Amino acid sequence: GDSVTQMEGPVTLSEEAFLTINCTYTATGYPSLFWYVQYPGEGLQLLLKATKADDKGSNKGFEATYRKETTSFHLEKGSVQVSDSAVYFCALSGNTGGFKTIFGAGTRLFVKA
Amino acid sequence: DAGVIQSPRHEVTEMGQEVTLRCKPISGHDYLFWYRQTMMRGLELLIYFNNNVPIDDSGMPEDRFSAKMPNASFSTLKIQPSEPRDSAVYFCASRMDTRNNSPLHFGNGTRLTVT
């Protein structure tokens, strides 16, 4: 079945450091790929998405490119801020499985001032 | 747009008691999902509805769990009887349609503690 694997956390960075959170997926067909972010005490919210190969999703300085050849969707940000501290979830939604969204385990990011 | 609204935000109950969690999805969204989040298992899909009809409840852990959606603007998740291992954060999410690029919109969750 479809699955998402993302790097384990926590990831601890200093402010203004470069961020990469790795995500790879397994799916049949052509899924859409998402990054969601969860701040403390809140639900998940969409950060960015990409719907086809080579698409780049971007929002709030975060970017991820849909790489079909490597089945990856790595999240990057050039300069993190303390306010980026949160849990980040990679997810896919495909044409199989009743259009369910499959989530990775989440990666916790701590950014120090 | 008020977003997905869940109540209560926190629930503390004793083992054996009945617990009811409530959700109001975003108006116009055809799909509603119930998730459970724990440190050990992460985010688990329990059940989802399409146009108020349950489509897949394979994630519901036991018969103690039940979910209903009597109309397009309201859903409940009930646990009866509750057990300490049910302690978790329960999220409701809604989605507009079946296109696979349509994202989920989550509520802020209900933190359930069963003592």
Query: How much is the pLDDT for A60?
Result: 96
Q: Dihedrals φ, ψ of A84, to 5°?
A: -85, -5
Question: Mean pLDDT across the stretch A29-57?
Answer: 94
> How confident is the model at residue A100, as a pLDDT?
80
What's the pLDDT score for residue B101? 77
User: Which of A31, A41, A46 is closest, CB to CB, to B100?
Assistant: A31
**Confidence class of residue A1 from pLDDT cuts 50, 70 and 90?**
confident
The whole-number average pLDDT for the span A22-38 is 93
Residue whose C-alpha is closest to residue B37's, from B104, B82, B86: B86
Q: Residue A95 pLDDT > 80, yes or no?
A: no
Closest by Cα among A100, A81, A91 to A49: A91
pLDDT at A94: 78
Omega before B81 within 30 of 0, i.e. cis? yes
Q: Is 90 exceeded by the pLDDT of residue B76? A: yes
**pLDDT for res A44:** 96
For B12-60, the pLDDT digits (tens) are 999 999 999 999 999 999 999 999 999 898 899 999 999 999 999 999 9
Q: Is the pLDDT of residue A97 over 60?
A: no
- How close, in Å, is residue A99 to chain B by CA atoms? 6
Chain A: closest CA distance from residue B98 (Å): 6
A49 neighbourhood in chain B, CB within 8 Å: 101, 103
Per-residue pLDDT at A8? 87
Backbone angles phi, psi at A99, to 5 degrees: 65, 25
- Determine the Cα–Cα distance for residues B74 and B5; give it in Å rounded to an integer: 10
CA distance B42 to chain A (A): 6
Mean pLDDT of A46-51: 96
Band of the pLDDT at A29, cuts 50, 70, 90? Answer: confident
